[in-house]
Chain A
Amino acid sequence: MNMTLSIALEYIRNRKRQALLSIFGVMLGVAFFIAIAGMMRGMHDYFIEKLIDVVPHVKIMDEFRTPPSQPIYQNYPDSLIDLRGIKPKEELRGIRGAKKIITKLYTRDDIRISPVLEGQAFLRYGGKDIASRLIGIDPKMERNTSNLARDITHGSLDRLLTNSNGIILGKGLANKLAIQLGAKLSVISPVGVIKKMKLVGLFDSGVPEVDAATSYAMLKKVQILQGKEDVINQINIRMNNIDAAPALAETLEKNYQYRAESWQESFANLFEIFMLENMIMYSTVAAILLVAGFGIYNIISTTVNEKKHDIAILKSIGFSERDVRHIFLYQGIIVGIMGTILGWVLGAILVELLAMLDFSFEGDVQAPVEFNDGFPMYRSIWLYIGGGIMAIISSSISAYLPARKAAALYPVDIIRGAA
C-alpha cells in the first residue's frame, strides 16, 4: 500500500470516535441530498408529466410576437418620422391561411393537431347569466390532442357529432347554472348572436378553475355564434416527443409568423419556481456538508498538533512537504469516501421510505395532485454520483487546510521543543 496512505489510515484508526462523527456528518449530507433531490425532482417530473398530459405541447395562436411596423417606417428606415393618430384596423381576427397550415401539419406522423376557435360567451339558463370560455372543436381531431374525451363524466364527446347544437360544460359551470344533462340553454356571443343549445356532456378535468368556466361546442357552431365563419384562432399540437416542442414551435413561428408557443414556454414561470426550489435544496445540503467539513477540519487539525513529532521525524528522514500534506489530506478523503458510501446506503433507504408516503392535495397548477401510490421519487445514479462528488470535495478542502499547515512545519522547531 502507498506509504502516506497507510500512515493516514493508522491515524484515523487511532481517532475512531472523532472520525466516526465526521463520517456521520458527511453521511447525513450525502443521504439528505439524495433523498431531498429525489423528492424535489420526482415532484417536478410528476407535475410536468401531468401538465403536458393536459395542455397542448405547441399551440399556434392568432397573434404576433412583435406587431409589424408601419409601412412608412419600412420604406424610410433611416428617417425621423412623426406619425400621429394611428388607429388600429377593425379586422376579423384569426389565423389566416389556417386551412393550408392544417393540411400541411396533418400529414405529419409525429404530431397530432386540432384547430379550435376560442371565444367568450354568456350562458343563460333559468335566469342566470354566466360567462364562459367557449371553445369550438372538431371532436374527431380534439380526441387526439386532449384528454377531453377521457374527462367526460356524463354524456360523451361523440354526441356533439350527432347533435350539432350540443354543448359540453365543465362540472363546475353546470353546477353554477344548476342545469341537467339534456336541458337546453341559451348561448349569447359578444357579437350578439343567440343560440339555443342542448347540454350533451359534462366533464371534470380535475382543475376546478377550468371546470367552472369552460364549455365546448362544434367548431362550425361556434364560428357562426362568434360571427367568424371559417375562422380558427388556435391550432393545438400534441407531439410524440415532447422535448422537441420548442424546436417545432420555432420552426412553425418562422414559417407562419404566428406566435407558436411550446409547453416549455407556457410554463416558464413554473420552471423558475422549480429552479428556486433547487437552489434552496442545494444550499441546505451545502450547509450540512459545511458543518461536516468543520468536523473534518477539527479532527485533522487536532491530529496535526498531536502528531508534530511524527511530522518532524518524517521530514528529517527525508519525507517531502508533499508527502506530509498527503498524509493529512488522505485522512479527509478517507472520511469523505466512507461518509459517502454510508450516505448512499442511508439515502437509498430514505428514498424508499419517502416513496411509501401517501398524500394528496389540490395543486394550483393545472393538474390535481394525488399520490395514492406513494410519493413520486426520482431515482438516478447521478444523484449518488453528484452527492458523492460534493462530499468528497468538501472533505478534501477541509482536510487540505490543516494538511498544508502540517507540511509547512519546520522540523527543527519541533525537535527543539521536544528535547
Chain B
Amino acid sequence: MPYPAVELKNVTRTLTEEVIPITLVKDINCTINKGEFVAITGPSGSGKSSLMYLIGLLDSPTNGQIFIDGTDTSLASKEAKEKMRLEKIGFVFQFHFLLMEFTAIDNVMLPMRKLGKLSHKEMKERAEMLLGHFGLKNAAWKKPNQLSGGERQRVAIARAMANDPLIILADEPTGNLDTKNADIVFNLFEKLVKEENKTVITITHEPYLAKRAERQINIVDGRIA
C-alpha cells in the first residue's frame, strides 16, 4: 500500500515583500509516495526550485499545507523543521556545497554528527560504507579540491544519505556534470529507490534523464502542467 512521503495541498508561495508581489508557486496539489522516483521538469524560472525548497522546508508556503511523512509542517516550529530536515530529508544541489576544509568522509559525517545518534566509530563506519557504496572508497580521505566534479557530486549524495533520510531532494544535481557522470548520478538514484526504498525527487532539465524517473511532474508558471 502506497504511503505518502510528501503531500502538498493547495501550496502557494508568493514573494509579498516585493513591490509587485511575485507568485513563485501556485496552488500545487500533489502526493509523492514512499519509494517513488520523481523528476520535476519545466522551463527556467517556472518555479521548480521554489517548489523543491518548499518541500525541503527551507522555505514556507504563503498558503496551503505541506505534509512530510504525515506531519503537517505548516504548524511546525523552526526547531522542528530543522530536526525534520536533519532526519528525513537529504539535499543535493547543482553545486556540490562540500566544505572545502574537510575530507570527503568528514563531509559525509557532518549530518550524523549533528544528529548525534551514533558513536564516532559507527559514524565513521557508516560514512565509509556510503562512500564505498558510491564507488568512492579511495576518495574518502581526500579533500574536495582533490576530487573530480562527478566524485564531488557523489560525495554530496552520500552526505544527503548520511542520516538515512526518507526523501532525497536533488536540485539539478547533474547540471554541472558531463553525461557520463550524470548517468552515474541517476544510476545511484535508481539504486537508492530500488534497493533502499528511498523517495527521490529531482529537478532536471535533461529530458533523457527525466525519462528515467518513474513519474514526471512538469511545472509551468508555478503550476503543475
Contact = CB atoms under 8 A, between A and B. Distances in A.
Contact of B85 (A10, A318, A412, A419): A318
A7 interface: yes
Contact of A419 (B94, B110, B111, B115): B94
Q: Is the interface of A mostly helix, strand, loop or mixed?
A: helix
7 contacts: A10-B101, A309-B97, A313-B93, A320-B82, A415-B53, A418-B95, A419-B49
Contacts of A317: 85-86, 91, 110-111, 114, 159
A316 B79 contact: no
Interface residues of B, number: 31
Interface in B87-112: 87, 91, 93-95, 97-99, 101-102, 110-111
B83 interface: yes
A419 B52 CA distance: 14
Interface in A1-42: 3, 7, 10-11, 13-14
Interface in B24-58: 49, 53, 56, 58
Contact of B97 (A3, A312, A323, A412): A312
B172 interface: yes
Interface in A396-419: 411-412, 415-416, 418-419
A314 interface: yes
B56 A316 contact: yes
A316 B91 contact: yes
Nearest to A316: B91
B149 interface: no
Contacts of A359: none
B101 A319 contact: no
A419 B82 contact: no
A331 to B, nearest CB: 12
Nearest to A415: B93
Given A313-B97, A419-B171, A319 B82 contact: yes
A209 interface: no
A230 interface: no
A294 B43 CA distance: 47
Contact of A7 (B56, B94, B99, B172): B99
Interface of B: 49, 53, 56, 58-59, 78-79, 82-87, 91, 93-95, 97-99, 101-102, 110-111, 113-115, 159, 171-172, 175
A318 B97 contact: no
Contacts of A229: none
Contacts of A411: 58
A310 interface: yes
B108 to A, nearest CB: 11
Interface in A284-338: 309-310, 312-320, 323
B116 to A, nearest CB: 9
A312 B171 CA distance: 14
B97 A310 contact: yes
Given A318-B83, A318-B111, A415-B95, 15 more contacts: A3-B110, A7-B102, A14-B101, A309-B95, A309-B97, A310-B99, A313-B93, A313-B97, A313-B98, A317-B114, A318-B82, A415-B171, A419-B93, A419-B172, A419-B175
A10 B84 CA distance: 27
Nearest to A309: B97
A320 B114 CA distance: 10
Contacts of B111: 317-318
Contacts of A10: 99, 101-102
A59 B70 CA distance: 87
B91 A3 contact: no
Q: Which 10 A-B pairs have the closest CB atoms?
A: A318-B86, A10-B101, A313-B97, A318-B85, A3-B113, A418-B95, A316-B91, A318-B82, A317-B111, A419-B94
A412 B60 CA distance: 11
Nearest to A7: B99
B101 A313 contact: no
A207 to B, nearest CB: 66
Contacts of A313: 91, 93, 97-99
A412 B110 contact: no
Max count, chain A CB within 10 A of own CB: residue among B78, B84, B86, B114: B114
Contacts of A323: 114
Nearest to B50: A412
Contacts of A314: 110
A319 B115 CA distance: 9
A340 B56 CA distance: 44
A265 B57 CA distance: 70
A318 B81 CA distance: 8
A323 B79 CA distance: 12
Contacts of A416: 49
A317 B108 CA distance: 11
Nearest to A319: B114
Contact of B79 (A309, A320, A412): A320
Interface string A222-241: 00000000000000000000
Nearest to B160: A317
Residue among B79, B94, B95 facing the most chain A CB atoms (10 A cut-off): B95
B205 to A, nearest CB: 12
